[in-house]
A = this chain, B = another copy of it.
Amino acid sequence: MHADHEHPHRPWPGLLAAYRRWLPVTDQTPALTLCEGNTPLIRSHRLSEQLHANVYFKYEGANPTGSFKDRGMVLAVAKAAEAGSQVVICASTGNTSASAAAYAARAGLKAVILIPDGYVAMGKLAQAMMYGAEVVAVRGNFDEALAIVRELAERLPVTVVNSVNPFRLEGQQTAAFEICDALGRAPDHLCIPVGNAGNISAYWKGFCAYHAAGIVGNLPRMQGFEAEGAAALVRGEPVDHPETFATAIRIGRPASWHLAVAAVQESNGGIRAVSDDEIRHAYKLIAREGVFAEPASAASVAGLLQLHAQGVLQPGETVVCVLTGNGLKDPDNAIQHSDRAPLVTEASTDAVQTALERWL
């Protein structure tokens, strides 16, 4: 074999192995992995130029089940298996269920998933079913489904893998580690969608851990963005009937409310609301740079544009926008929100040429 530089690709061992010293992993913890983490930090050339800043997308859609949830789920399911659990259960707007179903399948456990009937994107439902989970569609919203899960856990021998499971947030810290590993420092601002408010809390914990260990010398301002129709933290009270087309953050009673508020206060950041129109605009803008994220992910970029308009963003600052999930999770929204429709023609060169000439 030649020297190392001849072998650019180094296999990634997964998060439990890569960040073992930062996680509650013991010799008894199963070596569970689907090669989660190690996701790309993609420079946004256009936003960097437009905002006079260094703007990056942390593309969490590259995770095994297509969302950031895999970071916490691999640890939560491994710890459930370590504890001898046979069944994991969660309520979910879709991404959590896909992830729970995949890691349960990998670990040989059963997964039971509660989803709000009619409000889960098609790709996510397809995943949970293919991975072999038992799916219960509850005639209610996410918050009601989560309340049921918590009650069931007191009655039945099941392990809850919603973010009330502390291993979830422990695992999700690793995204902050990766950003620091890639940049050699923490960014100035971390822009992130806020639904159940767990992820912003986990990132902050991760940045603080690296900072306390002296690995980075700075900390980011945590900038969280809720959908306007589900903006419980911004309003300061739960939203009983949350509404937004960005289903992944259609949550009116965020479980990690206090942690999120603390992260924002300690970091001199903020929680703001972005409208569905702002999310839609950002959703397309990201795709036109070649990155396809699900609608909720675009809340981070919609929020960045607000920060810029309000003068919060300073020239030359480094910003990471977290794109939480893959656009393929929600093909219906993509097709519905595209500006253009396919043009149908007969199968002849002349017919297609005529169609093309209007664009060329």
Contacts and interface: CB of A to CB of B under 8 A. Distances in A.
Contacts of A347: 138-140, 144-145, 148
A292 B208 CA distance: 34
Interface in A150-172: 151-152, 155-158
Given A106-B289, A349-B152, A338 B9 contact: no
A309 interface: no
Interface stretch (A198-206, A271-279, A323-331): A323-331
Contacts of A87: 360
A109 to B, nearest CB: 11
Interface in A181-230: 181-182, 184, 214-215
A312 interface: no
B137 A105 contact: no
A344 B117 contact: yes
A131 B288 CA distance: 5
B334 A127 contact: yes
Interface stretch (A234-242, A257-265, A314-322, A351-359): A351-359
A276 B323 CA distance: 36
A191 to B, nearest CB: 19
Interface string A106-149: 10001010110100001101110111101111111000110110
A283 B353 CA distance: 39
Interface size bracket, A side: 35 or more
Contact of A352 (B102, B127, B136, B331): B136
A62 interface: yes
A38 interface: yes
Contact of A105 (B135, B288, B338): B288
24 contacts: A2-B215, A9-B18, A9-B177, A11-B40, A12-B38, A12-B40, A64-B290, A65-B292, A115-B342, A117-B344, A125-B331, A127-B292, A129-B340, A131-B287, A131-B290, A137-B344, A138-B345, A138-B352, A139-B344, A139-B345, A145-B347, A152-B353, A326-B326, A326-B328
A24 B110 CA distance: 49
Given A9-B18, A114-B352, A137-B344, 8 more contacts: A62-B62, A64-B290, A106-B289, A129-B334, A130-B292, A136-B344, A328-B328, A328-B329
B12 A131 contact: no
Contacts of A122: 331, 335
A25 interface: no
A179 to B, nearest CB: 9
A323 B41 CA distance: 24
Contacts of A158: 360
A8 interface: yes
Contacts of A138: 345-347, 352
Given A110-B359, A327-B130, A137 B342 contact: yes
What 3 pairs between A and B have smallest CB-CB spacing? A140-B347, A35-B40, A106-B290
Contacts of A245: none
A127 B355 CA distance: 21
A76 to B, nearest CB: 14
A356 B156 contact: yes
Contact of A342 (B8, B136, B283): B136
